[in-house]
């Protein structure tokens, strides 16, 4: 899927800014989602699944795809199937026990399991060179997010790195996008958000951000939702970060030289 935009007529959002104007002028800030937008979460998940099975299953070990599928469909059945009671007095594992077993694996950071998506470093470097402010707004726990970003040595490029904190709602609520701008003292109305899934789009729409969809996994679903509910809103679709960067380069170069 090549990047496209829905350009019908200006959309007047909650702050009075049209999505058409948002695409014409340099953004006050570009916020990124993290997993599956900049960070190769699929690579990490595959590593984590293999590690969990290696540590907790005897031979013959099950296929990670089968265990993941059962967990998604029925957590209690997963526990009964893979971690049944060992004695009459043993209650067996609960879903909470399984999550506790996963936690140290999900927090492990090493060159083996950490990888940015292709084009991430180039996109960050380009925006930094052009002095475009950047941030990360993710639903990942805040401490985990900051540790992962720091691993890649890119923390200095972001004005704010904002993960999930206790008491704050998750996307699709707009607060994960609005709160970082409030913290930075940036008014709403001229910000871009790059994310990959429907919750990212819905949060960006509610917060009045210009949405850039990265990747193809959820693009069709987002496009259908946007066309049905908000067809005047401009949304850009990029099948890779490389295409996003190709879109950014001439736009940023041109808009930064335009009189406001």
pLDDT for 26 beyond 90 = no
Q: Structural domain boundaries of the chain?
A: 19-40+117-255, 43-106
pLDDT band at 17 (very low <50, low <70, confident <90, very high): very low
2 or 40, higher pLDDT: 40
Enter the tokens of residue 89: 């007095």
pLDDT for 66 beyond 50 = yes
User: DSSP label at 136?
Assistant: E
What is the per-residue pLDDT for 23? 56
The model's pTM is: 0.86
210 or 19, higher pLDDT: 210
To the nearest whole number, what is the mean pLDDT of the chain? 89
Q: How far, CA to CA in Å, does 258 sit from each of 73, 209, 254?
A: 53, 21, 7
Is residue 124 within 8 Å of residue 154, measured between CB atoms? Answer: yes
Measured distance between the N- and C-terminal CA atoms of the chain, rounded to whole angstroms: 33
What is the per-residue pLDDT for 253? 76
Is residue 209 within 8 Å of residue 195, measured between CB atoms? Answer: no
What is the per-residue pLDDT for 87? 92
Q: b/e map of 3-40 (b: 16 or more CB within 10 Å)?
A: beebeeeebebeeebbbbbbbeebbbbbbbbbbbbbbb
pLDDT digits (tens, 9 = 90+) for 212-242: 999 999 999 999 999 999 998 999 999 999 9
Superfamily of domain 19-40+117-255: HAD superfamily/HAD-like (3.40.50.1000)
């Amino acid at each position: 899927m090549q990047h496209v935009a829905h350009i019908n007529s200006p959309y007047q959002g909650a702050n009075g800014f049209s999505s058409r104007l948002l695409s014409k002028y340099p953004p006050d800030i570009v916020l990124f989602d993290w997993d599956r937008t900049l960070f190769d979460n699929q690579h990490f998940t595959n590593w984590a699944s293999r590690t969990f099975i290696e540590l907790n299953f005897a031979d013959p070990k099950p296929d990670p795809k089968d265990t993941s599928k059962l967990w998604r469909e029925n957590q209690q059945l997963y526990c009964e199937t893979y971690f049944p009671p060992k004695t009459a007095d043993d209650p067996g594992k609960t879903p909470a026990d399984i999550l506790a077993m996963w936690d140290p694996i999900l927090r492990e950071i090493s060159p083996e399991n950490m990888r940015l998506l292709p084009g991430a470093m180039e996109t960050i470097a380009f925006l930094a060179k052009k002095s475009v402010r950047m941030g990360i707004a993710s639903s990942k726990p805040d401490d985990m997010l900051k540790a992962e970003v720091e691993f890649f040595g890119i923390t200095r490029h972001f004005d704010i790195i904002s993960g999930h904190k206790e008491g704050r709602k998750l996307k699709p609520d707009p607060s994960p996008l609005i709160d970082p701008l409030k913290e930075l003292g940036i008014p709403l109305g001229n910000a871009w958000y790059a994310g990959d899934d429907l919750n990212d789009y819905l949060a960006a729409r509610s917060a009045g951000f210009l949405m850039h969809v990265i990747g193809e996994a959820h693009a069709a679903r987002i496009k259908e939702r946007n066309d049905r509910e908000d067809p005047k809103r401009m949304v850009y679709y990029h099948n890779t970060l490389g295409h996003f960067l190709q879109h950014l380069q001439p736009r940023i170069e041109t808009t930064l030289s335009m009189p406001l």
